Structure 1
Amino acid sequence: MRSSTGPTHPGISVVIPNYNGADLLAANLPGLFEALAFSGADHEVIISDDASTDGSVAFLKENYPGIVLLTSPVNTGFSPNINRGIARASKELTFLMNTDIRLEKDFFVPLFDYFSDPEVFGVMGRIVGMNDDKTQDSAKYPKWNGLQVDGSANYLPSSGTRAPSLFLSGAEALVETEKLKSLGGFDEAFAPFYGEDLDLGLRAWRGGWTCWYEHSAVCRHKTSSTISRHNKPGAIRAIAARNKFRLHYIHLDLPSLLLWIPVVLLNLIVKSLTLKFYYPRGLALFLRDIGAAAASRRKVPDKYTLRQVYRKITRTLSADRIR
């Protein structure tokens, strides 16, 4: 609903993927609706449930009958689940939000101005602790040595409140709906989890769009891992390794890819000798489904190479705030 007294902003489709998060929905949906009302933007809330068994669907039907509730008979993983919600999004902007995120009331207010620039794909805010203001997640600094893609480093703007980001956190990102759909949403080959948000950010940058971080847009997160609640540690590490192989295969140019292969083989020997079996397991999983990665590689926008993206982001940045 649009406030009659608030500013006119683009409408927002909120898309929340859920799997057995009834307790998190109960805790964090009130903050979402408060932030939406404060923004004055027309909105809809779409929750895509991935075959939950904890009463999530019943909770939502009873307490939030006005939302769009999508259900699946089988568990499909993060990317397919959130993509079902993205497909239903009808507003100009789509806000991607995890169930374990709690928004501050004014979260959306500083984000709207970004979309006056036609090159902007999306913007993320700052994630802090649920009970403190310690930064957990911020702008993503691109580390690049020609063969290794690494988006794990956070950094803060050296001045002002905005900074370019290699990718947008899948936990909280406001993006332009048309651009998101044109990229096909998240790559479902990364299912069930890990790496899909980095891949989406790289595809946006390589297509000529930009991703941003806004320090004054604050949301809160209780330090925990939804993934570890439902998966064994060994399986998590193997899937993470598989998706890292997949990410490199999709985005490295051909000369870099040819140089990357012997690096992988050398690492395979070292990891196996040191009993780090998640690495060979991840490689086997990747090779088993390499056809899906090849299909993804063919669909990646090619306006910019990965090397050009890294240069574009870093040429205006200072590395003194990296953590």
Structure 2
Amino acid sequence: MVSRTDVSVVIPTWRGRHILEAYLPSVMNACDRYREASGRQTEVIVVEDAGGDDTPAWLHSAWGQRVRLVEHDRNLGFAAACRTGFEEARFRVVVLLNNDVRLHPDCIAPMVAHFTDPSVFAVTGKIYSQDGTRFWNGGKIARFRRGMWSTYENYDILPGAQPGLPLLSFTAIGAFSAFDRARFLQLGGFDPLAIMIEDVEISYRGWKRGWCVRYEPRSVAYHDASQTMDRRYRRRTLDKLSRRSRILMHWMLLHDPVMFTQHITALALRVLI
């Protein structure tokens, strides 16, 4: 069944002209395919986070009015760039992409169709490596152990298995997911303190509101490690930021007294041992 929903695509970028040059054509092709199949509108919004390269000039030259460019006058970071994109978006469903994601031509309709269910906050797709040989991300399983939420496990299903059964995911992957625009903004967008785990943190807040995150394995994209973050920070710095963000997320959002006690105990043991 083809979805009948207008769709906005938001792509935050920072000094990403060469990356967009490689991957934006796949996004435009997927939007074209969705419009042709559904008869609905799409728009593509690129938020340039004051990178200072020639991304704006290239976008105007290569894509003209087919891409709406929004420019920050100073660098505000990933979370703010995403929020700007959602605020600028005209349509109810927003597909959020990293600038280095390549889309399968028919990926949009399956994930967007879930938003006919009013309980849905976000839908995450299936991600393979760029060469298509490795399965990177699917539905995310969360386990609370050693005082922390662990959200790194993926699951998938065989094609055709359990047709029509909604598949849940703890997290909507920030590199490739669709969101209910109004709910994303109602939550205030990504927390700028949740560096490296913005998608986990906002998904957790959505679940705590009673909204669900689903996994749609028919929506496929291709993505390797973030090229923008790897250019901006050393791996050791990224690991430190991720650990700090995970701890802050638990302090702000873990309200169950038993789980919070387990969390504090686990942190204390890590310091002492």
User: Which of 10, 15, 18 matches 1:20?
Assistant: 15
Does residue 1:92 correspond to 2:88, yes or no?
A: no
Name the structure 2 match of 1:125: 125
Name the structure 2 match of 1:257: 260
Deviation at 1:61, TM superposition (A): 2.3
Name the structure 1 match of 2:48: 49
Amino acid at match of 1:230: R
Preserved contact between residue 139 and residue 167 of structure 2 (Cα < 8 Å): yes
Preserved contact between residue 140 and residue 152 of structure 1 (Cα < 8 Å): yes
Deviation at 1:123, TM superposition (A): 0.9
Deviation at 1:223, TM superposition (A): 4.7
Higher relative contact order (CA closer than 8 Å, sequence separation 6+): 2
**Aligned residues between the structures:** 263
Name the structure 1 match of 2:167: 163
| Partner Cα distance (2:225, 2:183) in 1 | 31
Change (3 A) 1:8 1:227: closer
Q: TM-score by structure 2 length?
A: 0.89
Deviation at 1:101, TM superposition (A): 0.5
Q: Structure 2: state its 5+ residue gaps.
A: none
Compare CA radii of gyration and give the structure with the larger one: 1
Preserved contact between residue 147 and residue 252 of structure 1 (Cα < 8 Å): no
Does residue 1:206 correspond to 2:205, yes or no?
A: no
Does residue 1:185 correspond to 2:183, yes or no?
A: no
| Partner Cα distance (1:259, 1:131) in 2 | 41
Preserved contact between residue 101 and residue 221 of structure 2 (Cα < 8 Å): yes
Amino acid at match of 1:27: A
Change (3 A) 1:239 1:46: same
The correspondence of residues 1-20 of structure 1 with structure 2, limited to 5 A, is 9-20=4-15
| Partner Cα distance (1:239, 1:97) in 2 | 21
Preserved contact between residue 127 and residue 219 of structure 1 (Cα < 8 Å): yes
Deviation at 1:269, TM superposition (A): 3.6
SS in 2 for 1:188: coil
Deviation at 1:208, TM superposition (A): 0.9
SS in 2 for 1:20: coil
Change (3 A) 1:129 1:146: closer
Preserved contact between residue 20 and residue 99 of structure 2 (Cα < 8 Å): yes
Deviation at 1:224, TM superposition (A): 5.4
Question: For structure 1, which segment, 132-141 or 157-166, has the greater mean C-alpha deviation from structure 2 after superposition?
Answer: 157-166
The alignment yields a C-alpha RMSD, in angstroms, of: 2.0
Name the structure 2 match of 1:143: 143
SS in 1 for 2:64: coil
| Partner Cα distance (1:75, 1:133) in 2 | 35
Amino acid at match of 2:263: W
Q: Structure 1: state its 5+ residue gaps.
A: 1-6, 271-323
Deviation at 1:221, TM superposition (A): 1.6
Deviation sequence 1:63-95 (CA, Å, 0-9, x none): 222122121232222111111111111101111
Deviation at 1:133, TM superposition (A): 4.1
| Partner Cα distance (1:212, 1:140) in 2 | 9
Name the structure 1 match of 2:103: 103
Amino acid at match of 1:237: D
Preserved contact between residue 3 and residue 109 of structure 2 (Cα < 8 Å): no
Deviation sequence 1:47-69 (CA, Å, 0-9, x none): 11111133222211222221221
| Partner Cα distance (2:226, 2:252) in 1 | 30
Preserved contact between residue 47 and residue 82 of structure 2 (Cα < 8 Å): yes
Identity of aligned residues (%): 27
Preserved contact between residue 47 and residue 69 of structure 1 (Cα < 8 Å): yes
| Partner Cα distance (2:172, 2:34) in 1 | 21
Question: For structure 1, which segment, 241-250 or 60-69, has the greater mean C-alpha deviation from structure 2 after superposition?
Answer: 60-69
Name the structure 2 match of 1:321: none
